[in-house]
Structure 1
Amino acid sequence: MSPTLGQLNAQQCRTFVPTLHTTPYPAIDPSLVNLPSPYVVCILGGHGAAGGAARTLSALDETANEVRSINPATKVVVAQCNIALDDDVKSLVGTVNSEFEGRLDAVVANAGYSGPLIADVVLEKPSDIQTSFDVNTVGPFLVAHYLLPLLLATESGAKSFITINSMGAPTVTGPSGHASYCVSKAAQARLIEMINEQYGGQGLFSASVHPGGMRSGFVKDLPEEILKLLNDSPDLVGAFCVWLSKPDAPQTQRDVLKGRFLSCKWDVSELEARFDEIKEKDLLKFRIAVE
């Protein structure tokens, strides 16, 4: 049996291709992408774009103003939303309908939660694993439950559904292998696989994306030996997601990568060179080895 993601450790997964990036590069330069108008994106978690949702409105003000400063013509709508609450996520349907006439091209579920980094299930707090699953697994399910119908109903839309996952998903050992985060993120990746099985045939593109190592709000309590490794630009994952979901993405790219676990750090030209192998061996998915 060829090794798949479930049989690889996190280090092997990180180096799936030889070249790893820390900042955007020409092949995924978003400034070279011509998006159609209208093109509506709903981003959930902390900071967003044309449609953004976060638990507090103040969390979106800075990003909303930044988007407007780049292009004043961009319509930016912010919405308060706790991704783990059914009614909050459901309300986004009304927002999309009222503000964008029901059009939705792409969804990026970026919300996440990581409790203290304690690699011991006896010492981890049950409340942390509950919150991790509520945000990292139940939340993306709710987003898919309510927003997939809008994506699928948008004629000529990009029909892209991306969750921001983590290299913690394939991690089971080492100091960063804490159950609350890693297990809930692995479950999130599995959810994407199921969504692809159910809706990939209807033109939906879905993927789990590792965003690289950034000094976000998650990292304030991490030890220095881990902090020093977090040097990736947040622009990298943004550019990678644009590359994944751009309307003129080759159909081969969408067909091969849909439903899979990807890293924004991987060089896309080297990733493309492995397309045949990825498809033949069904790589970058979680599996149980039975031989």
Structure 2
Amino acid sequence: MSRIRSIIRGVGSYLPAKILTNQDLAKIVDTSDEWIQQRVGIKERHIAAEGEFTSDLAVAAARQALDNAGLEIADIDLIIVATTTPDFTFPSAATLVQMKLGMHHGFAFDIQAVCSGFVYAVTTADSYIKNNLARRVLVIGAETFSRLLDWTDRTTCVLFGDGAGAVVLERADLAEGEPDRGVLASALRSDGRHWDKLYVDGGPSTTGTTGHVHMQGPEVFRHAVGKITDVVYATLEQTGFTVADLDWFVPHQANRRIIDGAGAKLGLPPEKVVVTVDRHANTSAASVPLALSAAVADGRIKTGDLVMLEAMGGGFTWGASLIRW
């Protein structure tokens, strides 16, 4: 009997041309390169240009993923965009991406789970594929998070950047005895009691404004490592694999100390952990696919590797997905 699996056919990424270094930030807010690197491990971040929108970043990453997969947009049935910063309140960023890619069939929608959005989107796409609602899904994490920042608040403005990453998930029918691959298991969590620990103080129904990011940094850090490890173990338990079986851990790129803390608690050697936070900062829903794309592009992630994706974001939301490359 065959097994339906969602395999990653292609990956892509896009970063805006403008780079904002820690030294640049020190000119506009009371901070320093040493202060930022010691606390979060970030050296620089990319900032979208004026007139460059989330859908534009998403389209660029999507085109690269399609090229990497050897596919055309006509081959895609569904587009899912994970984002906290859509171009408009509505329509969804996904429908704008659909239009800009010239796709006039299938369907498209957004997922809003903040930094966990890409993992939520991969899990959703996997479900659509396994339930015969789509054969190929373009999954994108894209953000212009810089537009939610208060550039006078050094506790938040140093942490975030803009970017997009994408994957093409494709249905594979694996014959009996054929090695397993694709998305093997996922676990998603949320707990709205913690909403005020990381949030934006605006919205259509409350203030009618976009608002700015607010964060209780120590509280987020206190919860992060435990929740990350919990959901990783929950995902592994579904498959019988252990942490020792993992070839690569691709975590949300929020804070180097959180990444290191989670890796240490899981017992993962640092050389198995993909880290891009120093170059990209926290790009919210784009951070996992950006890190994933970087590790595929430089040859670290290879066919047959066992890869764990993980993220945690505002809400709180958190989740993990285990993939055999």
Sort the TM-score into its range (normalised by shorter chain).
0.3 to 0.5
- TM-score normalised by the chain length of structure 2: 0.31
- TM-score normalised by the chain length of structure 1: 0.33
Choose between structure 1 and 2: higher helix proportion. Answer: 1
